[in-house]
Chain A
Amino acid sequence: MMDVIEAKGLSKVYKNGVKALKGVSFSIRSGRIFALLGPNGAGKTTTLKCLLGTLKPTSGEILTLGKQPFPDGVKDASFVPEEKSLYDWIKVPKMVKIFGSFAPNFSFERFEKLAKRLGLTMDRKIGELSQGNRTKLYVSLAFAQDVKLYVLDEPTWGLDPLIRKEVLNLVNENVVGGKTVLYSSHILSEVEEVCDDLIILKEGNIMYNGTLDNLKEKNGTNLSETFLDMFRGEKR
């Protein structure tokens, strides 16, 4: 299986001196659901930004879909960002039109189906949308693109349990065609339902890198227990 992402010795030190990543290495195979886990401040979003080329790593190498992502970005990927803020004064249909005009392989038909399935409120300005509806909008926009890699940062933020399950179903359905999903979340029970492989980050270092099955077989515990053991007694 081809690697969709290869990261070697990835480090990021921000201007304020914060060391967000301290030399992490991992690879993501094509056709897999890969989860990026860790408590707040572990380096999840920094990792995603480096992989997508929106942030320049301080050192280390990354290949995303065979190319260095910085500074040009990754064309054959779509992204649900953690910070779900679009142009607040624009109405949803207008936003979809604008997004669809520049996003690669975007299908309006697909968007409409997704928006209906997730129950997205269309007739509003983006600034008037609830947190849940913003997430629905971003997830619909991302999956309306026919791309090789879907990068989802907290893609169930603010959603009720039924819609949350629908998003997980969407993730599962999308790997059938050999697509790859990179999923970052702090909701372990959710990740446990979908992921094949995972890394757990702690303060910019990798604590676990492997399959979910191996983690369970080796530790004899579920994901939450392993995670809590790893971070027990420390501030989260």
Chain B
Amino acid sequence: MHISLDYHSDVPVYKQIVRTIEDAILSSELKKDDGLPSVRKLAFDIKANPNTIAKAYFVLQSKGYVYSKPGIGYRVASPSKRSFEERLEELDKTLERIVIKMSRFSLSKEEIKKRTSEIVEKVFDDGCN
């Protein structure tokens, strides 16, 4: 899992970390009971403020993505079906924004459908899904 941070974004850094770890869990890159690095270690590895990492872990825990056990540290929980649906809805909205943008370039419904399905084909053919 690669965490890249944009400190100058309007999205707080803890949220960027939460999102990266959430996505890694939802896409099964991180599996149930996998261990997460300690706050200290992750802070050191990605050169971030440890308080920010602690906040991100706290949020992930309260959303049910991770759990912590004394002496063991943070581990991946199995996220609820709802979290998966919620994330998909967010991605749908991103896609919707792009489609709206395309429609403003006077493309017909059919033309947009054609373009988007071409992209779907390309992504699956290239195996980058």
Q: Assess A196 versus B52: contact at CB under 8 Å? Given A172-B43, A176-B43.
A: yes
Contact with A176, one of B12, B50, B55 (Cβ below 8 angstroms): B50
Residue A32 interfacial (CB < 8 Å): yes
- Give A193 to B47 CA distance when docked, in angstroms: 10
| A173 and B44 within 8 A (CB) | yes
Which size bracket describes the interface of B in this complex?
10 to 19
Tell yes or no: B65 within 8 A of A by CB.
no
Chain A residues with CB under 8 A of B50: 172, 175-176
Given contacts A173-B44, A212-B12, A216-B12, 10 further A-B contacts (CB under 8 A): A31-B51, A165-B47, A172-B43, A176-B50, A193-B7, A213-B55, A216-B11, A219-B10, A221-B10, A225-B10
User: Could you say which residues of chain B place their CB within 8 Å of the CB of A222?
Assistant: 8-10
Interface string of B8-25 (1 = CB under 8 A from A): 111111110000000000
Interface residues on A, range: 20 to 34
Check if B26 is an interface residue, CB within 8 A of chain A: no
Using a CB–CB cutoff of 8 Å, the interface residues on chain B facing chain A are 7-15, 40, 43-44, 47-52, 55
Interface centre among B13, B40, B47 (most CB of A within 10 A): B47
Of the candidates B9, B11, B12, B51, the one having the most CB atoms from chain A within 10 angstroms of its own CB is: B51
Report A179-213 CB contacts with B as 1/0, cut-off 8 Å: 00000000001001111100000000000000011
Give chain A residues whose Cβ lies under 8 Å from the Cβ of B9: 222
User: Do A176 and B7 touch across chains, with their CB atoms under 8 A apart?
Assistant: no
Docked complex Cα distance between A196 and B52 (Å): 8
Q: Which residue of the partner chain A has the closest CB to B52?
A: A196
Knowing A213-B12, A216-B12, A217-B12 are in contact, say whether A175-B7 is a contact too (CB < 8 A): no
- Nearest CB of chain B from residue A204's CB, rounded to whole Å: 28
Q: When the two chains form their complex, are residues B10 and A216 in contact, meaning their CB atoms are under 8 A apart?
A: yes
Give CA–CA (A31, B15) in the complex, Å.
21
Q: Is the CB of B51 within 8 A of A192?
A: no
Q: Smallest Cβ distance from B5 to chain A, in angstroms?
A: 9
A212 to B7, CA, bound (A): 11
Q: How far is the CA of A220 from the CA of B10 in the complex (A)?
A: 6
Q: Does A224 contact B (CB under 8 A)?
A: yes
14 contacts between A and B (CB under 8 A): A32-B51, A33-B49, A165-B47, A172-B48, A172-B50, A176-B40, A189-B8, A192-B7, A213-B14, A213-B15, A216-B10, A223-B8, A224-B8, A225-B10
Task: Verify if A169 is at the interface (C-beta below 8 Å from B).
Answer: yes
Which of A165, A222, A224, A225: most chain B CB closer than 10 A? A222
Distance to closest chain A CB from B31 (angstroms): 28
Chain B nearest CB from A181 CB (Å) reads: 10
Distance in angstroms from B127 CB to nearest chain A CB is 36
A214→B125 CA distance, assembly (Å): 43
Contact present for B51 and A175 (CB under 8 Å): yes
| Chain B residue with the shortest CB-CB distance to A195 | B49
Point out the residues of chain A lying under 8 angstroms from B52, CB to CB: 196
In the bound complex, CA of A223 to CA of B40 (Å): 26
Nearest CB in chain B to that of A32: its residue? B51
Question: A172 near B8 (CB under 8 angstroms)?
Answer: no
Cα A213 to Cα B59 with chains together (Å): 13
CB atoms of B51 and A196 under 8 A apart: yes
Residues of A within 8 A of B51 (CB): 31-33, 175, 196
Chain A residue numbers with a CB within 8 Å of B12 are 212-213, 216-217
Residue of B11, B40, B49 touching A194 (CB-CB under 8 A)? B49
